[in-house]
Amino acid sequence: MIKKPVLAGLSLEGLAELLGSYPSFRSRQIYHWICRGASSFDEMSDLPMALRRDLAENYRVFSGTVVSEQRDRDKTIKLGISLDDSAVIEAVILRDGGNRKTACLSTQAGCPMGCVFCKTGMLGFRRNLLYHEIAEQFLRLRQIDTGISHLVIMGMGEPLLNLGELRKALDYFMDSRGLNISKRRLTLSTCGIEKGILDLAEQGPDIRLALSLTSARQALREKLMPAGRENTLPRLKDALLLYQKKADRRITLEIVLLGGINTGPDEAAAIAEFAQGLRTVVNLIPWNPVEKKEFEGQPLRPPTRNETAEFAAALEKHGLKVTLRTGKGMGISAACGQLGVVKKE
């Protein structure tokens, strides 16, 4: 069965080209309706009824279907979205202590990285998402809350392994004629793909970049994050230096704190050494529990409060700026590293 073309995520020019048989002003109307959160043609009230019927017969607004909506006590919201091939991805609205609301989006169905501490990696890798599948996550979240001001590419998957489709989605988010999200409010988090960082440095866009470092000791990082075997710390450092030169932005170094594994003074010293020459902030992320996660035969555990405080103090003694990320959405498995449904044996 041939699927109807999807309109969400298309640029205004792309929409006008696809809908070339209609007057151009109709494309602008439809574009603005989709950006405002319309999920069906029936909602586009200033279009003639006959046109709405014709559009519904030949096109789709979205390709995915929302199959679950979960809300945590801390006001985190997680959507499960089923795609055309029945792959299910997840997108999240996060709220900080103030009024900021941030959308967290996925770029892949599953993840090929296999990081020891991440639930999504247990799913394996299914495929890269298409640009409209990335864009419609945000549009679906915005239907729930129009007050979303920031966007982070930190959901399921490794963004830099799907950079071509992600770029199209980012262009859609930043278009001043539509959603008009400032690139200063867009953050991409990567586990460290050297080629992708270099590509981003040369081709843009110059959005905020976060590196999931977790360990600055090469041997340990390779064990925790298999991608580190090829993307070694020296190569990542060179790529980050180039990105910072091109984009002129501070880089966030994300450290997933694993109790008793990467919380010692040697680790803090190694992070300080890695950060030399970079303009950075270190974001500490106490590990969010995931069932059946082990390292070298021992169950993973979150750091204690003392471990976290002492590690933060050690980093600060090395002159680093440190922030602590509080776990949001843990009650609905929406916190960092918890996205994805573990396969049942």
pLDDT at 226: 97
Domains of the chain with bracketed CATH: 12-58 (no CATH), 72-332 (3.20.20.70)
Q: Quick one: tokens of 26?
A: 């109709």
**CA 43 to chain centroid:** 29
The SS3 of residue 268 is: helix
35 included as an active-site residue = no
For the chain, the average pLDDT equals 96
90 included as an active-site residue = yes
User: Nearest to residue 92, comparing CAs of 344, 330, 342, 343?
Assistant: 330
Are the C-beta atoms of residues 283 and 333 closer than 8 Å to each other? no
Task: Label residue 97 by pLDDT band (50, 70, 90).
Answer: confident
262 phi, psi to nearest 5 deg: -130, 40
Residue positions counted in the chain: 345
Could you say which of 35, 90, 136, 165 is catalytic?
Answer: 90
Could you say which of 35, 111, 191, 336 is catalytic?
Answer: 336
Note the pLDDT tens digit of each residue in 152-173.
999 999 999 999 999 999 999 9
pLDDT at 345 over 60: no
- Please give the Cα distance from 41 to 327 (Å, whole number): 38
Strand 101-104 and strand 150-153: pairing?
A: parallel
